[in-house]
Amino acid sequence: MTFARGLSKKTTLLLFLAALLLPYSAFAQRNKKKKAGKEATAAVQVPDYHVADSGVFGKAFTGFALFDPAEEKMLYEYNADKYFTPGSNTKILTLYTCLRTLGDSIPALRYSRQGDLLVFWGTGDPSFLNPYLQQNPQVFDFLKNSPGELLFCPANFKDQRYGDGWMWSDFPYDYQAEKSPFPVYGNAARFCQLDSVKGIEVCPAFLKNFLSYDSSLHVEDYVGRTEFDNQFTFNTLAATGKTFEWHVPFRYTPQFLAEMLADTLKRSVHVLEAGLLPPAGASTLYSLHADSLYRLMMQESDNFIAEQLMLLCAWRQSGMMSTEQAIEFSMKNYLTDLPDEPRWVDGSGLSRYNLLTPRSLVKLLHKLYQSVPRERLFNLFPAGGVNGTIKTNYRNGDSPYVFAKTGTLRNNHCLSGYLITKKGKLLIFSFMHNNFTISTSSLRKEMERLLREVYDSN
């Protein structure tokens, strides 16, 4: 080897080694700066906590996904690609479908005047005389005061009373009211007793004649019903005069609806059994603002409202009422970009046939956030410590930090929605638990602990 003139052999060797190491040093410095920059711009800190290490979650089949919509990246995943029974988290699918399909006002009915007859068809609107909703007197006054004979036509109802996978033995319980084309009173009767002197009050009063005493009725149920007709019975506990309020779905048939409407409106109502559909010139009467229904469905997890909303969506799409049709339309037109295709069979989540993944729910919640103004969206969801099904959880004074939908069936519990951190950062999450035998309350406490850590860390 020839050495440069004027340099010692040792100095030249050092320069040669330095030249060899220079590229590596520059590469290392670039990596160091890149890593430092990535850490400096990281918007969210996820607590050093692993869902898999939880003794509580370990007693269930658990999935979790945490997403940063600002960075559009998943921050944490645990079984996020696995399918779970979602319970009422299914209502998030229903809400998105309704927001894409229905307008600001809910159509109450369609009608057509034919000589001295007024023929009307339902749309699935669940609001008429519903005790949980503020009433629009326009619909009641229209039916009560319209001249001529009233004829109700059920021909555009193409559905069954229950969804696939529902528990048929739950027919007497208010969380499983029957679906129908023109609901009245939320398709459930209300029985209450203020004292032993006044006896049992029934709403609608028309059903008072269908109530009788049955000493064999289960003690825990004040009022029961036979499955395939509207014979209601009250038990010994109710007969003692103890104050109570009990809601029992009634059995829908077109003829029974006509009789109940006639009693309510104080005028005759008949059923047109022919398969007559609304003619092209039929008119539409509207009832109330759509958000009134969405809020009741989401905050109180009202199953009946959810099911009827899906019928409304189908009616809007085709003029017919079919949950299956509404779901098929939504899947093909609104939900093709979800990472895992849902198994979706009803509007409420009562069915155990429904299957969703945490990451698909997070994606759907992100789509909702992108399409609905934030104030309106959060006003529809339950707010932690404030209202709805999480009123007693996720308390944070006057500033709720969790806006999320619960989903609960026996041995299943889910919570999916939005979290606002201490510094105001918005995150989207989905927690899903199936196949557990521990108490649901213990899972709620563990979820709250983890989500609070995320809140405090950011």
What pLDDT does 197 receive?
Answer: 63
Which residue has better confidence, 37 or 195? 195
Domain of residue 59, CATH code: 3.40.710.10
Structural domain contains residue 434: yes
49: pLDDT confidence band, cut at 50, 70 and 90? low
- pLDDT, one tens digit per residue, over 417-446 is 999 999 999 999 999 999 999 999 999 999
Q: What is the mean pLDDT of the chain?
A: 90
Structure tokens, 295: 């809020």
Same structural domain, 166 and 281: yes
Q: pTM score, two decimals?
A: 0.89
Structural domain contains residue 162: yes
Same structural domain, 62 and 171: no
DSSP assignment of 1-36 equals -PPPTTS-HHHHHHHHHHHHHHHHHHHHHHHHHHHH
Residue 16 has pLDDT above 70, yes or no: no
Domain boundary among 255, 277, 297: 297
Same structural domain, 274 and 197: yes
24: pLDDT confidence band, cut at 50, 70 and 90? very low
Same structural domain, 64 and 166: no
Domain boundary among 246, 275, 297: 297
Please tell me the distance from the alpha carbon of residue 411 to that of residue 13, in angstroms, as a whole number: 74
- pLDDT, one tens digit per residue, over 341-376 is 999 999 999 999 999 999 999 999 999 999 999 999
Q: Could you tell me the residue range of the domain that residue 270 belongs to?
A: 100-297
Residues 6+ apart with CB under 8 A from 171: 225, 227, 249
Same structural domain, 360 and 234: no
- pLDDT, one tens digit per residue, over 59-72 is 999 999 999 999 99
3-class DSSP state of 357: coil
Structural domain contains residue 408: yes
Among candidate residues 149, 250, 269, the one with its CA nearest the CA of residue 203: 250
51: pLDDT confidence band, cut at 50, 70 and 90? confident
Structural domain contains residue 22: no
Please tell me the distance from the alpha carbon of residue 306 to that of residue 218, in angstroms, as a whole number: 29
Domain boundary among 297, 325, 340: 297
Q: Which helix (H) or strand (E) holds 327?
A: helix 323-333
Structural domain contains residue 19: no
Query: Which burial class, exposed, middle or buried, applies to 431 when counting CB atoms under 10 A from its CB (0-12, 13-18, 19+)?
Result: buried
- pLDDT, one tens digit per residue, over 227-280 is 999 999 998 888 777 788 999 999 999 999 999 999 999 999 999 988 999 999
What pLDDT does 29 receive?
Answer: 45
Number of domains making up the chain: 2
Among candidate residues 402, 392, 398, 391, the one with its CA nearest the CA of residue 426: 402
Same structural domain, 291 and 302: no
The amino acid at residue 199 is G
Same structural domain, 311 and 436: yes
Same structural domain, 149 and 279: yes
Same structural domain, 169 and 288: yes
- pLDDT, one tens digit per residue, over 151-180 is 999 999 999 999 999 999 999 999 999 999
Residue 30 has pLDDT above 70, yes or no: no
Residues 6+ apart with CB under 8 A from 443: 56, 57, 60, 413, 433, 436
Q: What is the mean pLDDT of residues 169-198?
A: 91
Structural domain contains residue 16: no
Structure tokens, 204: 């609608």
Q: Are 354 and 338 in contact (CB under 8 A)?
A: no
Structural domain contains residue 71: yes
Q: Please, where are the H alpha helices in 107-253?
A: 137-145, 236-239
Same structural domain, 117 and 252: yes
Q: What is the mean pLDDT of residues 385-413?
A: 96
Residue tagged 């004074």 (tokens): 397
46: pLDDT confidence band, cut at 50, 70 and 90? low
CA atoms within 13 A on the CB side of 457: 15
Which residue has better confidence, 403 or 19? 403
Same structural domain, 74 and 206: no
Phi-psi region for residue 11, left (φ > 0), alpha (ψ -120 to 50) or beta? alpha
Structural domain contains residue 156: yes
Same structural domain, 252 and 342: no
Question: Could you say which DSSP state residue 426 is in?
Answer: E
Q: What is the mean pLDDT of residues 132-145?
A: 94
